[in-house]
Chains A and B, each alone.
Chain A
Amino acid sequence: MGSQGGFGQSKEFLDLVKSIGESRSKAEEDRIVLREIETLRRRITEPDIPKRKMKEYIIRLVYIEMLGHDASFGYIHAVKMTHDDSLLLKRTGYLAVTLFLNEDHDLIILIVNTIQKDLKSDNFLVVCAALNAVCKLINDETIPAVLQQVVELLYHPKEAVRKKAVMALHRFYQRSPSSVTHLVTNFRKKLCDNDPGVMGATLCPLFDLIMIDVNSHKDLVGSFVSILKQVAERRLPKSYDYHQTPAPFIQIKLLKILALLGSGDKQSSEQMYTIIGDIMRRSDTTSNIGNAILYECICCVSSIHPSPKLFGAAADAIAKLLKSDVHNLRYMGIDALGRLIRINPEVAEQHQLAVIDCLEDPDDTLKRKTFELLYKMTKSSNVEVIVDRMIEYMISINDNHYKTEIASRCVELAEQFAPSNRWFIQTMNKVFQHAGDLVNPKVAHNLMRLIAEGFGEDDDTADSQLRSSAVESYLRIMGEPKLPSTFLQVICWVLGEYGTADGKYSASYIGGKLCDVAEAHSSDDTVKAYAVTALMKVCSYEKAAGRKLDMLSECQSLIESLSASHSTDLQQRAYELKAIISLDGIAMENIMPLDASCEDIEVIDKSLSFLNSYVQKSLEEGAKPYLTEHERSRTRNISNFRNHDHHDASTHSLRFEAYEVPKPVISARLPPTASLTELAAVREQSYQREVHRSPSVGSLSDKGSQELRLRLDGVQKKWGRPTYSSAASPSTSDSESHTVNGTGKGKSFEPSSRRQPEVEIPEEKQKLAASLFGGTTSKSEKKQSGGGIKGSKATRSTADQTRATTAVVHPPVDLLDFGEPSGAASGSSSTVDPFKQLEGLVDTNQYSNVSKDPDLLSLYSDAASTSGQNQNQETGNLSHGSGNRTTKGPNLKDALGKDALVRQMGVTPATQNPNLFKDLLG
Chain B
Amino acid sequence: MIRAMLVINNQGKSRLAKFYNYTPVEQQQQLIRSIYSVLCLQPENVSNFIEGGLLLGPDSRLVYKLFATLYFVFVFDSSENELAMFDLIQVYVEILEKCFSNVCELDIVLNYGKMHTILDEMIVGGQVVETNSDIVMKAVEEISKLETTTAGAKLISKSASLLWG
Contacts and interface: CB of A to CB of B under 8 A. Distances in A.
Interface string A5-21: 11101000110010011
B16 interface: yes
A364 B47 CA distance: 9
Given A91-B147, A248-B87, A17 B111 contact: no
B163 interface: no
Contacts of A599: none
Interface stretch (A66-74, A559-567, A767-775): A66-74
B165 interface: no
24 contacts: A1-B110, A51-B154, A63-B112, A65-B25, A68-B32, A86-B154, A87-B150, A88-B151, A95-B120, A132-B124, A136-B125, A163-B130, A170-B127, A239-B132, A242-B131, A242-B132, A252-B84, A328-B48, A328-B82, A363-B43, A363-B47, A365-B46, A369-B51, A399-B54
Question: Of residues B48, B50, B83, B121, which shows the largest number of chain A Cβ atoms within 10 Å of its Cβ?
Answer: B83
A327 B45 contact: yes
A7 B148 CA distance: 8
Contact of A59 (B79, B81, B113, B154): B113
Contacts of B82: 292, 328, 331-332
Interface string B71-87: 00000000101111011
A497 interface: no
Nearest to B101: A3
A288 interface: yes
A517 interface: no
B148 A6 contact: yes
Question: Of residues B32, B82, B99, B155, which shows the largest number of chain A Cβ atoms within 10 Å of its Cβ?
Answer: B82
Given A252-B84, A292-B87, A328-B48, A20 B148 contact: no
Contacts of A167: 124-125, 127, 129
A365 B47 contact: yes
B13 A164 contact: no
Given A3-B101, A87-B146, A242-B91, A95 B46 contact: no
A4 B144 CA distance: 10
A648 B139 CA distance: 76
Contact of A292 (B45, B83, B111): B83
A289 B129 CA distance: 17
B51 A368 contact: yes
A62 interface: yes
A296 B125 contact: no
Contact of A7 (B14, B101, B113, B155): B113
Interface of A: 1, 3-7, 9, 13-14, 17, 20-21, 51-52, 59, 62-63, 65-70, 86-88, 91-92, 95, 99, 102-103, 123, 125, 131-132, 135-136, 160, 163-164, 166-168, 170-171, 174, 197, 200-201, 204, 207, 211, 239-240, 242-243, 248-249, 252, 256, 288-289, 291-292, 295-296, 327-332, 362-366, 368-369, 399, 401-402, 405
B59 interface: no
Nearest to B53: A401
Nearest to A136: B125
B125 A160 contact: no
Nearest to A245: B87
Nearest to B154: A86
Contact of A362 (B46, B51, B130): B46
Interface in B19-72: 20, 22, 25-26, 28-29, 32, 43, 45-51, 53-54
A17 B130 contact: no
Given A6-B148, A63-B112, A68 B84 contact: no
Given A66-B16, A136-B125, A7 B114 contact: yes
Interface string B125-146: 1011111111100010011111
A644 B134 CA distance: 70
Contacts of B117: 91, 95
B22 A102 contact: yes
Nearest to A251: B84
Question: Of residues A14, A59, A66, which shows the largest number of chain B Cβ atoms within 10 Å of its Cβ?
Answer: A66
Contacts of A368: 51
Given A7-B113, A51-B151, A88-B151, 5 more contacts: A4-B110, A167-B125, A170-B127, A197-B135, A289-B84
Given A88-B150, A135-B125, A295-B81, A288 B87 contact: yes
A102 B21 CA distance: 8
A295 B83 contact: yes
Nearest to A328: B47
A17 B109 contact: yes
Given A6-B144, A167-B129, A168-B125, A365 B51 contact: yes
Contacts of A67: 13-14
A95 B18 CA distance: 11
A530 B112 CA distance: 64
A401 B125 contact: no
Contact of A3 (B81, B83, B100, B113): B100
Contacts of A249: 84, 88, 128, 131
Contacts of B100: 3-4
B84 to A, nearest CB: 5
Given A288-B83, A296-B81, A164 B124 contact: yes
A80 B160 CA distance: 25
Nearest to B18: A99
Contacts of A365: 46-47, 49-51
Nearest to B144: A6
Contacts of A248: 84, 87, 131
Contacts of A103: 22
A24 to B, nearest CB: 10
Given A7-B113, A52-B151, A70 B86 contact: no
B94 to A, nearest CB: 9
A330 B139 CA distance: 37
Contacts of B106: 17
B124 A95 contact: no
Nearest to B33: A68
A248 B83 CA distance: 11
B120 A362 contact: no
A197 B47 contact: no
A154 B106 CA distance: 38
Contacts of B120: 95, 132
B87 to A, nearest CB: 5
A166 B130 CA distance: 13
B93 interface: no
Contacts of B135: 197, 239
Contacts of A131: 124
A210 to B, nearest CB: 11
A366 B47 contact: yes
B47 A327 contact: yes
Contacts of B109: 17, 21
